Structure 1
């Protein structure tokens, strides 16, 4: 069963357990009034798709609407997750802990049949993706991976987390996971967190919208995340110097979104020098601020050792004169 299904009566619940047989069944005891249950239903839906090959069943059940089932299994709070095999309860998880839910599903699915782990997924994707993801989560002190952009979020949870961060004066950069399927799928395995948005601080996962909301309500969010009081100039200085060679462009290395960016990538690739890229379409603050910082009004912009080299025309001239390799290596 490849989708999250709902049981609204005790009989439906029993029928689902019976039909699943020895396959894994995960039941989410939820409440419509609890926002964290909505977030965990997204996690359940994603897990249902990922584990369709294992014939696992994922069920949501309104705890207060089916009290006889809730009482039988001593459900006293939501969300609570029960794991069944052969009609018998084999495990339990209390609370909105997405990483722990993922781990339990992976372990129990693997115990009953072939089910790949999140770690294996990253391994199969290769070290290059792993390195790219590490760079992305460390691209700014506070990185938000979301659907859409802060100016135009493309899902309710992304809209909520952006509002929370702005309300509490948090300075953050963002990445639109809808623009890059490799990052969208890879980051779920990298972080062991199957849904978006995802917030990282100093390269470490903080969590999704519910975690950020809890931090905001407890007064801890301001201490966890960098404040907007940090100067933009300081941030830009850190970005241009984060690698020996950095290209600020439209799109990514694998998906250039303008002809000038595509051409400069070809020139850099031909020079056989390692370089990093930053997609200015993902961060309006950087896009506008860097033009003033460098006094260079267009993109792409190439930096070597924190110093601006120029755009496509300058790089072309360096290539034609035979100086590009030396400039990129910081030798001239």
Structure 2
């Protein structure tokens, strides 16, 4: 079986991409605890035999968090495709046929033909539709809301925050394919771009006009509505766990560990998969003032994440807290 390259640090990852230049690099963000990842490593090894000009890489997602966060890796397995150190494609999930198809297409991209290019355009449009619908209010900006990389993006973020509008964002600098493709998809040539319910509202000038006319508050979802939703969700069951995945299939190592601890107590609990709702995923961090997942709630009150739950178990306090005795 062909060997796969392994990356163990952010620096090593950057060096590898620079060394490979125009060659295709396929990176598998994986976790040793996930059986589907083990299977996909075998698929990668088989593909490596067929495509000697392609570099296939394994990167343990939770061991190199700065790389995983940069490329928004929220579950495993996830595959990213690179050329010239730029991400050109992505595949989420254990889909061997789709992985094979993407490798074949990108490996032979120097051969121009209508079919593959049409497929690539279709795949990008599907992805753009998913991105524009990732949250009720999505803004595509240069940089992040905390660190906008241009004055227009900064002004857009300031207006949305001033009106207490709950929004999620996408850094178009992080993905050149999205940056260029969204201009055609939306028929809007500049950034930032604001979408509500998957529909383009416009850029900064349009948002300023809507603010001046008072329409912005009626178009965009307000934060207090999300807070009401989060309050209902955190009180949905006496014990609520917000995690990546569910009881049957955890999608990160931390979620898997906390599930095992809760199962050992025998206490009934319900879960919410934060990967299924970007609005909840982002909003709950602010609501709870807790930046990571999983998050455990008892009777609507935050207990904490995995480290806190581990401490409570070691101290013998966990069961009484889960039963609401403390």
TM-score, reference length from structure 2: 0.38
TM-score, reference length from structure 1: 0.38
Q: Which has the larger radius of gyration?
A: 1
